[in-house]
Amino acid sequence: MNVKRIYKEKLEENDTVHPGKILSTVLLKYNINQKELSLRIGLTKKAINEIIKGKNPITKKTSEKLEKVFPISASFWDSIQEKYDLSIKKKSIKQAILKEIKDYKKEINKVYVNLTENNLIPEIKFIQSNYQEIALNIHRFFGINSFKYIKNIYQDIFNKNFNKIDKYSLSAWIRLGEMQLMDNMMSDCKLIQVKTKIHLIIKQLKNLKNIESLEKTLGKLGVLLVCLPDFKNTNIQSYSKWVNNKVLLLINSENINEDDFFFNIIYQIVNIIKNQKKSIHYHFINSKYSKENILFLRKKLLKNIKKIDNIREFNRIAKDFKVPKHILKKICYNICSKELKQILNSKLEKQITYINI
């Protein structure tokens, strides 16, 4: 009896063949019924019936027993059982992914666009025949088993009321930064130890000429600075959080001027020192600065400045401290001369969202 040929024929009829179907054919060929087989191998008739109906597998112990009844090796039964289990597993994964795509299609598409545009996962056409590959690539990027678990990992994002922000794309942006931290060996963060010397840190940072020296200086303080590309639908400009005893500081370095770049670094450092390990800090493009942070920046950045008389001096301070002028106006407006206030109001009026301090 050519049992391999029978198995091949069954596969042509159905791409998933349970070993029970082959066993049923073998019983007919050898003119043995289920009851007689149960007596020969010591299993109940019910157990045999459930194997034939595909409800239970042919275990290794059962395959060894069948080998003694029929001239069919135990390895054959083990092999087709293994192929069946693998086929069922693949179908189950495919069904789960199709459901996942159905439930999160818009969100997955936005994340997919951001990841492919930045060459973080392979770009293939976003069609149903490719859904499984797309989903698996996104799973690997995030290190998750399902797209729905992103909410579990980035609860802080999903618990906040961010307007016009795609939270899944923002999670992907942060994940990209976190992957840099995994590969980086740093000492513990020393910023808290120097919390009363923020002006010295600012002075040191403002004299640095390039990103590499900035990264190196912050690295010595236990802060990993990561410059990231812009992700669509996020509007994120900077982000910081504690990871164990280190600080991850992410900056959106795409389409940002030098003043805003340095101000975001200073802004995040101030938050890190002020709040220590209590929270995660986000700063979005065009977002308002809180009254609390403006007061803190004024106190620390302009500690030794008593009065600003003219626009030239104002511009020099903005340049030295790497603070955008519209933010500097908020910080130091009360110590500006009357003439300077008039100039600032006429030049910067349209750019500023006022915060009373």
Is 9 or 341 the better-scoring residue by pLDDT? 341
Domain limit, last residue, from 54, 72, 90:
72
pLDDT of residue 350: 40
**Position 353 confidence tier, pLDDT thresholds 50, 70, 90:** very low
Residue 224 covered by a domain? yes
Of the listed ranges 125-129, 195-199, 233-237, 319-323, the least confidently predicted one is: 195-199
pLDDT of residue 354: 30
What's the confidence (pLDDT) of residue 69? 92
Do 108 and 139 share a domain, yes or no?
A: yes
pLDDT score at 264: 83
Alpha-carbon gap, residue 126 to 35, rounded angstroms: 53
Count of C-beta atoms within a 10 Å radius of residue 165:
17
> Is residue 80 one of the residues assigned to a domain?
no
In a domain, 158, yes or no: no
Q: What is the mean pLDDT of residues 179-196?
A: 64
Instruction: Tell me whether residue 267 is in a domain.
Output: yes
Instruction: Flag the least confident range among 127-136, 196-205, 347-356.
Output: 347-356
pLDDT of residue 190: 62
Of 80-89, 162-171, 174-183, the least confident: 174-183
Alpha carbon separation from 188 to 182, 201, 266, 288 (Å, rounded): 14, 17, 19, 31
Q: In Å, how far from its chain's centre is CA 329?
A: 37
Backbone phi and psi for residue 190, each to the nearest 5 degrees, phi listed first: -105, 5
Domain annotation covers residue 317: yes
Same domain, 114 and 222: no
| 356 located within any domain | no
Q: How confident is the model at residue 219, as a pLDDT?
A: 81
pLDDT (mean) for 238-255 = 85
User: Same structural domain for residues 212 and 259?
Assistant: yes
Residues 6+ apart with CB under 8 A from 346: none
Per the domain annotation, does 77 fall within a domain? no
Greater confidence (266 vs 297) lies with 266
Identify the bridge partners of residue 242 per DSSP, sorted by sequence position.
Answer: 247
Structural domain boundaries enclosing 318: 303-351
On whether both 171 and 149 belong to a single domain, the answer is: no
pLDDT classification of 221: cutoffs 50, 70, 90:
confident
Q: What is the CB-side half-sphere exposure of residue 317 using CA atoms within 13 A?
A: 25
Final residue in a domain of this structure, among 28, 50, 72: 72
Angle at 266 (CA atoms; ends 208, 214), nearest 5 degrees: 25
Q: Check whether residue 28 and residue 56 sit in a common domain.
A: yes
In 3D space, the residue among 279, 277, 232, 258 whose CA is nearest the CA of residue 321 turns out to be 258
Q: What is the mean pLDDT of residues 47-61?
A: 94
Look at 26 and 184; give whichever has higher pLDDT. Answer: 26
Percent of the chain with pLDDT over 70: 76
DSSP structural state of residue 70: S
| Number of domains present in the structure of the chain | 4
Average confidence (pLDDT) over 133-159: 93
| pLDDT band (50, 70, 90) for residue 336 | confident
Average pLDDT over residues 306-318: 80
Same domain flag for 238 and 276: yes
Higher local confidence (pLDDT), 140 or 93: 140
Q: 266 and 207 share a domain?
A: yes
Say whether both 172 and 247 belong to one domain: yes
Residue 167: per-residue pLDDT? 94
Supply the mean pLDDT for the chain: 81
Predicted local distance difference test score (pLDDT) of residue 125: 92
Last residue of a domain, one of 32, 50, 72: 72
Separation of alpha carbons 290 and 339, rounded Å: 27
Residues 111 and 210 in one domain: no
Q: Distance (Å, rounded) from C-alpha 10 to C-alpha 58?
A: 17
| Distance between CA atoms of residues 237 and 245, nearest Å | 23
For residue 91, being part of any structural domain is answered with no
More confident: 203 or 131? 131
Q: Are residues 132 and 205 in the same domain?
A: no
